[in-house]
Structure 1
Amino acid sequence: MGSHRSALVATIRQELAEARGTARAVLAAAESARGEAQNRRRLVRDAYATCLSQLAAARENARRDIRQRFHGETERLTGHLRGLASVSASGAAGTSWRLWAPSEPEPGRGPGLLRIGTIEFDEAEALPALIPLLDRAHLHLTGPQSTLDEVITGVLLRALGSTRPGEVELTVYDPERLGETLAVFGPLGTRFIGPGGLGPLLDELVDRLCREPAPEGWQVVVLLADRATAEEMTRSQRAQLDRIVRIGVGRGVHLLVRGLELAEHPSIERITVRDRIASCGSLDRLEVRLDPAPPPERIAAFVREAAARLRQGPPPPRLADLEPARPWAESARYGLLAPIGDSTDGSMVELPLGDDAPHVLIGGPAGSGTTNLIYTWIGSLVTRYGPDDLALYLLDGTDGESFARYVPGPRDPSWLPQVRLAGINLHRDREFGLAVLRHLGAELRARADGEVRPRIVTVIDEFPMLLDGRDAIADEAGDLLEELARHGHTYGLHLVLATRETAGIQALTGRPALIARFTVRIALPKARRVLATDNLAASLIPRFHAVVNTESGLSGANRIVRLPDAGDRTAWGAVQRRLWRARPGGCAEPRVFDGSAVPRLPSTYRPSGTPGGGEPGAVLGERIDVSARPARLRLEPSAGRNLAVLGTRTEEACDVLAAAALSLAAQGPAHFSIVCLEASAERAAARLVAELPAADWYDASDVHFEPARSEVPRYLIGYGLDLVNPRLRPALRALLTGGPERRVHVLGWWRSVTRLRDDLAGDLQPIGAWVALDVHGSQLAPLYPRPGGPVWKPRPRRALFFDRSVHHTPEVIIPYEVNSDHA
């Protein structure tokens, strides 16, 4: 029993021990699970906190990104709106009063919008609030009277300050204050209407709108009505007001109305004001903070200046005002039409050239602006018509360089692409003017069988130089002018003749068939005989004005034009360079003839130059013609093929001989004998010897005229042959007589025809060609086949060349510059 109890106790103790162990294990597990759960809760809590933090950061980032994007978009839109505002209301139309100053619109640009205040989006952003008026709308204003009057004053100041003086005509109906509200604008010719004047004013406006053509400017009518006016308006007056609202804007009449109701119409801009905050129909009822009233001192200063300019009249247009919007966009198929200035009413005056207006005659005394008019017209033409439609031939018959601006120069290489030829300083070179007329006559005949393009406009400033004197040049020039005037316009050739002397007009009146073709007449101030005898308009116009008449000068066909000042070469140069850069491919430089310039011997006529200077022969100088060809003397092996240079001008004589020798040496093998008997020519002769490839030098001590035979041509170049020893004259005569057939030619200088004749014992037949310098025509009679000698008045750097095997009459040439230090 005891042992059983002991065993039971031991079992219970064992079970209890196991139970305790299990309990401890369970408690340990439970504690571990509790710790794990706590750890999990902590992790979840931490994760949640992290998520909340990330969510908050994400929200903040999103808000920041949205703000940045919104701000960038806002900045872009704001900048765009500011740009639009500056374009739509530039200058005086949109500048704040603090910086305000009057400004004139750009040529060809219509009126813009007008600023009345600002539109504020937030504290940092504000844009100008702009409303329409001129050419766009009537204004109807509602609100406190004093504020509305300030708004009206500002609108008028901006409208007047952004247009030219006189373009806006102002009428004010102010029965309550009798015009005092807007009296500051009185000096500008403002018309004020008092009590009882509304009905007549409305009738007058309707009559003007219905009967008169639309004016060049605008009429702004301000109606500052009081209560009595609104109550007393009749049905007829209301109908007239409605009619003005409907048709006024399209015809330049605009209403600014305060105190009267206007019937609904799309042309009305309604402005409602409360506490200096306005809403405008065109601004989609956005709130507009009105600008303060314009400073009185700015209004007064503007009115004084504008009134003074009104008294002086509008300024003439600028040359830039005559330019088209797009250059070379016009076609010359049916004629040429280009503005040269504006008339007294502001409209442009255009000058025609075509079948009905074939040619133009311009006249005015010295200093009246002939050159300025020509510059203006050329500038207007060349910006409208390109080189394929217009070709210009420009001749200046004075001793000036009027047309030098249109051709390449040492400082500016550009030229007008339309200019084909320019002659300047032609007062002593009538031959070049005649050569141009001959060229145009040939062009006329060529066009009779071909295409009439481009139109050719030939401008001859001081044209009487061609017709001066009763000689062959004047006769032929007159005949050619008459042919071109009669038939030229049919084939696209037009003449523009200008003169400062009445004698020039008289020269034309002696040819009625010629002057009758000049139906377009332009008379400058104090011009005589350009217009009809009973047309005295030119005596009444001031400087920078002209009378344009397209009916041969008849009274009743005058248009007075104000001309721009086109004399600023710097301003014109920018236009010319722009046209020059736009020239089409193959557009050649113009031929330029300058009567004051001395041409140099081209390098192709020198032994060191490129061989092949054209047809063989001795080059003596430049011909006075359109193509600038050299004057040549053919020296074939036949009798008389010698040259005599005659005159006392040493430098020119030496240049003629040097040019002849060098050009002959450039054409192939030849041998030269240089004989110098004149001390003043020794330097020139020595230079020639140094440049020639094969030359012998002879002076007075060993000169002889028996050159050895040679397989190549031999040329004896003689300086001062009139100084030859008398005992050598027979040998010289023999060489002149028999040398050419043996291919030996003499090119010599004699200082007079008498000395030449003495050397040749009176027989001048061996001299087949001669160049005369300062020798009068009568002295050349022994060398000329016609009695009395040629018509020739010597002038510096000009020579008369005659080759009896080629010429019927001598031709004037310009000796090349060869021997100068800068040649």
Structure 2
Amino acid sequence: MPDARTELVLAVRRALGHARAAAQHRLETIEEELAAAEQHLKRVRRAAEQVPQRAGAHRDQRLATLTERYQQRIAQVAGEAGAAATAVAPGAAMAGWPDWRPTPAGRTEAPGMARIGCTGVTGSPTVPALVPLLDDGHVALDGDDRIGCDAVVATLLLRALGRAVPGAVRLTGYDPEQLGGGLAGFAPLAGPRLLTFVGPGGLGRHLDDLVDDIRRINETVLAGEYRSLRELAASTGRRPEPWRIAVLLGSPGEELSRHERAQLDRITRAGAACGVHLVVRGVELRAGPTVTTVSVSAGTARVSGYPALPVRLDPPPPAELITRTCRDIAGTISAGPVPAVFGDLLPQREWTEDATGGLTAPVGDSPQGRPVAVTLSDYPPHALIGGPSGTGKTNLIYAWIGALAARYSPTELEFYLLDFKEGVSFARFAPGRRDPSFLPHVRLVGVNVNTDREFGLALLHFLGAELRRRADAAKRHEVTKLAELRAEDPQGRWPRIVAVIDEFQVLLAGNDALASEAATLLEDLARRGRSQGIHLILASQDVSGIQALWGRTALIAQFALRIALPKARRILPETNNAADGLPRHHAVVNAESGAIEANRVVRIPAASDRDTWHELQHRLWRRRPEGLSPPRLFDGDAVPRLTEAPDYLALAGTDGGPREPVALLGETIDVRAGSARLALSRSPGRNLAVLGTRADEACALLDSAARSLVRQYPAGTARFDLACLDRDAEAAARDLHAALPAGTGLYDLDTLPGLLADTGDRLAADDPGRPARPHFLVLYAVDAAATRLTAKFDGRSGLDRLRRILHIGPERHTHVLGWWRGVARMRDDLGGVGSRTDQIGAWVALDVQGTELGPPLYPRAGGPAWYPRPWRALFFDRTVHRNAEVIIPYGPS
């Protein structure tokens, strides 16, 4: 059952229809009354002239009274008629030429009748003379005034063009006498094929084409559901077919063949309901309810609807007005057809669909105006979208997401959205600073990740883990498909998942380990995801050179649903070139892996407009389930802050401090917004080395680590000391020193040896089984002290003391968080080439090439597959990692 809003819309549409019909009926009645009043006035005047002269005074008074009375009545009727005429012929259908401009009718509004002049006798109030045409009938002109007939034709055509959106009226001209000269002013419409001419001898073929159009519209567009295109447009707000006006300017004495007469009669009877109309002169139309005859003579006309009233014809529209209007229409059409309407994709009632069998929603409408739905299910399970830049790929994704989100609730459907191109196309689905709303179905939004392929890989790992979880649940319930699992476990939460990866080729670009791993994960998801309700939508501007994808036939075969935008390449097979000639705002939808016979042309709505989208998103957001958390937003251009990290906010001090403190270093590049954590337990090697020359990032790493440690210790339960040996780091060191507990030492190049000596002495005196309170040494650019630390201090160099602290300190809860400005410099401080680096259990590399990080720092030969880039770091903890992971250091506090 339709909801209250739908019922209200239908009621308003019915009321508008009744009002228009009433206004038109009132206009016809008033015109009859006006004609009767004028005839009666004439009779009164004639009778008065026959009264004998002896009754002159009484006669004159009586005549004046009757004349005044009937003139008032005529003025009243004329006023009512003018108001009624304005109602049924608004805007461009009525306006005079000096102020005339196009005023296209609304989506559910009828175009109305067209004014050709004014009715009424000389000296009496005038009433607009209207002629029905669009959606109403046909016009036949006759009479001896050829110029007047041509003026009526031009008036009708220009008013029809002005009451329709550009391209919604198509004209054809049959003019064997002047060879199209009678429609010369409309010639600019010939460019976009809105005006075509029929040559001499082509009338029969032209009438056949019009009859075929009427038959097709009745069979495929109206299809028994509606009686006319007017009714369809009023009910649905869509008009899938243009109006077709055939202007037939026959030659004097031209005879029609029997076949031509029969076809003309068919058009006369059935054409108006299908938007096919005739405007004829010199060609006989049989009288009927849809035919209006206009007889023109000496600048006046008689119209069959109100033959008693003479019509003073309006002057013909200025030639420059016709030409300018037609050029504007042609220019609009040349810019491309208008898109469909996003609201047409939305259901009358939201969140009523069940995703058990799949996800079905329209992405646009067909050339016949009917919604074209696409499905993601067991078949087809996944979709591939392609189109060059500017063809509307992102807009198509918006339309599809909106249509799905309006039909399926967040318990039925979840989205994971990733955009590898530079930009924030998907950011609107997540909360922003000015707008807290978000699309309730979206669980992940990744933007500006064109340099963070690791995040795409993380998404594939996450989906793979979810696939295994669902497969395990299916095994427990002894089923194989998501639909069966939902039936066996109705209390479980098993929504269908749609992962959209825009510009996915970035993830697979290159011939490296990451691309190979991503392709393998994609293939597994594409092959097994269909049965567990995990669907992939991959989009790209150009996929012609992606060897990692097209070299895997088993992978590409899973993407049976193909959507090709204009000029798309390799989305459809080479033998299927349906996308080559597509206009703007259109796409080819093919659910059979590109088979030509499965092509469907779709007109895509404008869904990317922020205001249009926000209306839907806010409405769904207000209906979101209670307790639903916002989606994870990963912005590759944003620098995360420690104080906003969930893991930092969850840290809390305990009496005596934690048994195993954790230093937070940065944000992991993962689906869940986690922190890169370094556990500083009482185990050998629990020290951190920050490697690289980027001072701001190195300082930020040390700052985050120290602040997160402080948060875990009540005052006085842990000791912190800082040493800064680089001028570029002095400001950062002072800021951190101010944030650390009172009593924290701040050392420089001259005082660092004393700190190391004191710390070494304390460690020697400590009982390893019962260490003193935790001690954290934060050393900025420690390699700068190499020369100073080689000097002997009580018989031992400072480097020896540093090595001993690194070696035995962690077991006594003393940990070094040090920054070395190069891998070679750190190795020199640890004993030179060939020395062991076991005392460095974890490291974070900044602008260091992967080849510099080989054994013994990194267990694998050749080092990790890593290339440095701004505000990214490579983190490796030998007690946790098998492979190093890329992290984003937290920004300065």
TM-score range, shorter chain: 0.7 to 0.9
d(CA) in 1 for partners of 2:863, 2:259: 94
Q: CA deviation at 1:645?
A: 2.1
Amino acid in structure 1 at the alignment position of 2:115: R
1:494 corresponding residue in structure 2: 535
SS in 2 for 1:664: helix
Please state if 1:99 is matched with 2:105: no
d(CA) in 2 for partners of 1:285, 1:491: 73
- CA-to-partner distance for each residue in 1:329-349, whole Å, 9 max, x for gaps? 57584534444698xx79789
Please state if 1:191 is matched with 2:252: no
2:317 corresponding residue in structure 1: 295
Structure 1 stretch displaced more, 158-167 or 647-656: 158-167
d(CA) in 1 for partners of 2:849, 2:282: 93
Contact 2:118 2:313 survives alignment (8 Å): yes
Q: CA deviation at 1:239?
A: 4.8
Contact 2:642 2:648 survives alignment (8 Å): no
1:676 corresponding residue in structure 2: 723
Please state if 1:748 is matched with 2:818: yes
2:502 corresponding residue in structure 1: 461
- CA-to-partner distance for each residue in 1:544-589, whole Å, 9 max, x for gaps? 88766554345666677788999xxxx8232233334323234654
Amino acid in structure 1 at the alignment position of 2:135: D
1:690 corresponding residue in structure 2: 738
Q: CA deviation at 1:197?
A: 7.8
Contact 1:452 1:492 survives alignment (8 Å): no
Structure 1 residues 754 and 183, CA, compared in 2 at 3 Å: closer, same or farther?
A: closer
Please state if 1:139 is matched with 2:139: yes
d(CA) in 1 for partners of 2:434, 2:310: 57
Partner residue of 2:335 out of 315, 324, 337: 315
Amino acid in structure 2 at the alignment position of 1:296: P
Contact 2:509 2:546 survives alignment (8 Å): no
- CA-to-partner distance for each residue in 1:665-684, whole Å, 9 max, x for gaps? 11232423323151333332
Matches within 5 A, 1:303-702: 305=327, 309=331, 314-318=334-338, 321-324=341-344, 333=355, 334-339=358-363, 352-355=374-377, 356-363=379-386, 368-369=388-389, 372-379=392-399, 381-382=401-402, 385-386=405-406, 388=409, 391-404=414-427, 407=430, 419-446=442-469, 448=482, 449-450=485-486, 456-500=497-541, 504-522=545-563, 528-535=569-576, 549-554=590-595, 572-585=609-622, 586=624, 588-602=629-643, 611=652, 617-669=662-714, 670-680=717-727, 681-699=729-747, 700-701=750-751, 702=754
Please state if 1:718 is matched with 2:782: no
Q: CA deviation at 1:599?
A: 1.4
- CA-to-partner distance for each residue in 1:633-656, whole Å, 9 max, x for gaps? 222333333222223322222211
Q: Compute the RMSD of aligned alpha carbons.
A: 4.7
Structure 1 stretch displaced more, 664-673 or 397-406: 397-406
Amino acid in structure 2 at the alignment position of 1:352: V
Amino acid in structure 2 at the alignment position of 1:221: A
d(CA) in 2 for partners of 1:607, 1:160: 66
Contact 2:362 2:403 survives alignment (8 Å): no
Contact 1:607 1:665 survives alignment (8 Å): no
d(CA) in 2 for partners of 1:745, 1:594: 33
Structure 1 residues 174 and 635, CA, compared in 2 at 3 Å: closer, same or farther?
A: closer
SS in 1 for 2:134: coil
SS in 2 for 1:783: coil
Between structure 1 and structure 2, the one with the greater Rg is 1
Q: CA deviation at 1:705?
A: 1.7
1:221 corresponding residue in structure 2: 246
Contact 1:144 1:273 survives alignment (8 Å): yes
d(CA) in 2 for partners of 1:774, 1:381: 40
Structure 1 residues 276 and 329, CA, compared in 2 at 3 Å: closer, same or farther?
A: farther
Amino acid in structure 1 at the alignment position of 2:245: V
Structure 1 residues 629 and 370, CA, compared in 2 at 3 Å: closer, same or farther?
A: farther
d(CA) in 2 for partners of 1:204, 1:775: 73
Q: CA deviation at 1:164?
A: 5.1
d(CA) in 2 for partners of 1:304, 1:770: 71
2:53 corresponding residue in structure 1: none
The count of aligned residue pairs is 729
Structure 1 residues 235 and 786, CA, compared in 2 at 3 Å: closer, same or farther?
A: closer
1:14 corresponding residue in structure 2: none
1:772 corresponding residue in structure 2: 845
Please state if 1:157 is matched with 2:158: yes
Structure 1 residues 169 and 565, CA, compared in 2 at 3 Å: closer, same or farther?
A: closer
Structure 1 residues 597 and 385, CA, compared in 2 at 3 Å: closer, same or farther?
A: closer
Q: CA deviation at 1:514?
A: 0.7
Unaligned runs of 5+ in 1: 1-69
Amino acid in structure 1 at the alignment position of 2:739: E
Structure 1 residues 492 and 123, CA, compared in 2 at 3 Å: closer, same or farther?
A: farther
SS in 2 for 1:219: strand
Contact 2:664 2:677 survives alignment (8 Å): yes
d(CA) in 1 for partners of 2:375, 2:336: 24
1:65 corresponding residue in structure 2: none
d(CA) in 2 for partners of 1:677, 1:306: 71
Partner residue of 1:807 out of 852, 863, 881: 881
SS in 1 for 2:671: coil
Q: CA deviation at 1:112?
A: 3.9
SS in 1 for 2:870: coil
Amino acid in structure 1 at the alignment position of 2:802: L
Q: CA deviation at 1:299?
A: 5.4
- CA-to-partner distance for each residue in 1:57-103, whole Å, 9 max, x for gaps? xxxxxxxxxxxxx9xx9999899858xx46x5454333332222345
Q: CA deviation at 1:620?
A: 0.9
Amino acid in structure 1 at the alignment position of 2:276: V
Unaligned runs of 5+ in 2: 1-72, 222-239, 471-481, 487-491, 791-796
Structure 1 stretch displaced more, 180-189 or 688-697: 180-189
Structure 1 residues 90 and 477, CA, compared in 2 at 3 Å: closer, same or farther?
A: farther
The share of aligned pairs that are identical, in percent, is 45
2:803 corresponding residue in structure 1: 733
Contact 2:118 2:314 survives alignment (8 Å): no
Amino acid in structure 2 at the alignment position of 1:432: F
Contact 2:93 2:115 survives alignment (8 Å): yes
Contact 2:720 2:745 survives alignment (8 Å): yes
Structure 1 residues 235 and 804, CA, compared in 2 at 3 Å: closer, same or farther?
A: closer
Contact 1:607 1:691 survives alignment (8 Å): no
1:250 corresponding residue in structure 2: 273
1:705 corresponding residue in structure 2: 759
What is the TM-score normalised by the length of structure 1?
0.74
Amino acid in structure 2 at the alignment position of 1:745: H
SS in 2 for 1:705: helix
d(CA) in 1 for partners of 2:93, 2:342: 25
Structure 1 residues 127 and 403, CA, compared in 2 at 3 Å: closer, same or farther?
A: farther
What is the TM-score normalised by the length of structure 2?
0.69
d(CA) in 1 for partners of 2:745, 2:376: 64
